[in-house]
Amino acid sequence: MAKDGDAERMRWNINASTAAAWFSAVVAAGGITLAVTQNRVASRQNALADRQSLVTLVSELTRNISLEQKAETSHLTGEQVLIEQALLADAEQALTVAEALHESVPAIDSFEIGKAFSYSVEYSRALTSLNRAAEADSAPRTRANALREEARLLFLIGGRRNLAKGREDLALAYRAFEKQPDVTRELIDHDHAFTDFYSAAEEAHFDCQRAHAEFLEGKALIRADHAILNGAMEGIMGHGERSVARCSKPERPLPPEVRMNHADGGIHKRA
């Protein structure tokens, strides 16, 4: 009988030890799960905070760009310098936050960051951000704007490689709305005309014949559909017309402090 009791107690001890080990394992697993969940929650909260910070910074960039444009128009040099300093500081912060997100940043945010760097004469970083915005096929308006701004900077920097790349960007901007779902013919024509006038203004520094041709193509689209003539179109059309009227300078020199290495190439928009 004693042996039977000892055996029973041994089995009970083994079962109790097994249960305790099993319980400890469950608790440990639960602790790991809880830690992982907390980390995920913390990561999501950090990402949300970063996104909110990016929204705030981009809003500030947009406001300062508007102020910069007004100061530029009014020839307020001292005010321009202060605004450009603020733009550069906000652009650098916004770029840091955007890179820390480790996820897709809205194309419009990359575009505004690129424009801010452009106004601050930080062309290399401007082109990097504009290129990111230009890769967003799902946002054709922002893509077209980014490609045109990128082309403007490349034309401004100058040099044959940048000129070829700038023309390629304008060709891509010309086709940004094509093959997009739910896009009207009017919207496509608007983008075509806007890009024609934009191209005419830039080409006037390099190729007068091409600049005149681009301007006339834009005018033909306006005559064919007056509905596409709005305030923005009138502004770029006037800029293109003035640029073409004084077209004489063969090519802008490459600024010595800027060295960009873009591959040769270029595609005509009609191709």
Residues 110 and 161 reside in one and the same domain = no
Residue 30 pLDDT exceeds 50: yes
Say which residue, 236 or 41, is predicted with more confidence.
236
Residues 264 and 148 reside in one and the same domain = yes
Residues 166 and 269 reside in one and the same domain = yes
Q: Give the global pTM.
A: 0.67
Sign of the CA dihedral 163, 213, 231, 106?
negative
Q: Would you state the pLDDT for residue 116?
A: 87
249's tokens? 């300078």
The mean per-residue pLDDT over the stretch 217-242 comes to 94
Residues 122 and 249 reside in one and the same domain = no
Domain boundary residue, one of 136, 169, 192? 136
**Residue 107 belongs to what domain range?**
30-136
Q: Would you state the pLDDT for residue 148?
A: 96
**What length does the chain have?**
271
Residues 165 and 260 reside in one and the same domain = yes
Residues 147 and 131 reside in one and the same domain = no
Domain boundary residue, one of 113, 136, 159? 136
Q: Would you state the pLDDT for residue 22?
A: 55
Q: Would you state the pLDDT for residue 99?
A: 78
30's tokens? 């639960």
Residues 81 and 125 reside in one and the same domain = yes
For residue 254, name the pLDDT band (cuts at 50, 70, 90): very low
Residue 21 located in a structural domain: no
Number of domains in the chain: 2
Provide Rg for the chain, Cα atoms: 30
Residues 85 and 98 reside in one and the same domain = yes
Residue 44 located in a structural domain: yes
Q: Would you state the pLDDT for residue 40?
A: 45
Residues 128 and 186 reside in one and the same domain = no
Domain boundary residue, one of 136, 160, 194? 136
Say which residue, 161 or 250, is predicted with more confidence.
161
Residues 94 and 151 reside in one and the same domain = no
Say which residue, 94 or 8, is predicted with more confidence.
94
> Phi, psi (5° rounding) for residue 144?
-65, -45
Q: Is 180 helix (H, G, I), strand (E, B) or coil?
A: coil
pLDDT tens digit string along 62-90?
666 666 666 555 555 666 667 677 777 77
Residues 110 and 179 reside in one and the same domain = no
d(CA 132, CA 119): 18
Residue 9 located in a structural domain: no
Residue 43 pLDDT exceeds 50: no
202's tokens? 């830039």
